[in-house]
Amino acid sequence: MKLTHDQRPVYPAGSPLPAGASGWTQCKLGAAYAVWLRKEDQAQSKADLAQIIGKVHALRTKAAAVALLTELDKTAFVNERLRDLKLSLINAMYAKAWPLIEV
């Protein structure tokens, strides 16, 4: 599987949607990569992001945020402040819900 410069996996065109994902974030790889959503996916993506943000902002302790990051295999972020942990969680949870696919 290809990776972006920031180590995000990029599924090959035609791949089946991973379990738990809502849809694809389309991607063109290169020295830099362009990412976009199809028009018909934008409303669902926005709803998913709002739900993720609500869930993450409900976390009140660093321990709860670290536990969720560990569950997502994102242990590199566990030494951050709670505010930064929450942003890392939002990014990781959105990337899981809307993975990259090469087009």
CA–CA gap between residue 52 and residue 58 (Å, rounded) = 10
Q: Note whether residue 73 is domain-resident.
A: yes
Residues 62-102 pLDDT 10s = 899 888 888 888 877 677 888 888 998 999 999 999 999 99
Q: Note whether residue 13 is domain-resident.
A: no
Domain that holds residue 56: 41-103
Beta carbons within 8 Å of 11's beta carbon, 6+ residues apart: 1, 18, 24, 99, 100, 101, 102
Give the E-state strand segments of the chain in sequence order: 2-3, 9-11, 25-28, 34-36, 100-102
Residues 21-66 pLDDT 10s = 999 999 988 667 888 999 999 999 999 999 999 999 999 998 998 8
Q: Which helix (H) or strand (E) element contains residue 1?
A: none
Q: Total domain count for the chain?
A: 1
Q: Which position has the token pair 């998913």?
A: 48
* Model pTM score: 0.85
Q: Note whether residue 1 is domain-resident.
A: no
DSSP state letter for 78? T
Q: Note whether residue 68 is domain-resident.
A: yes
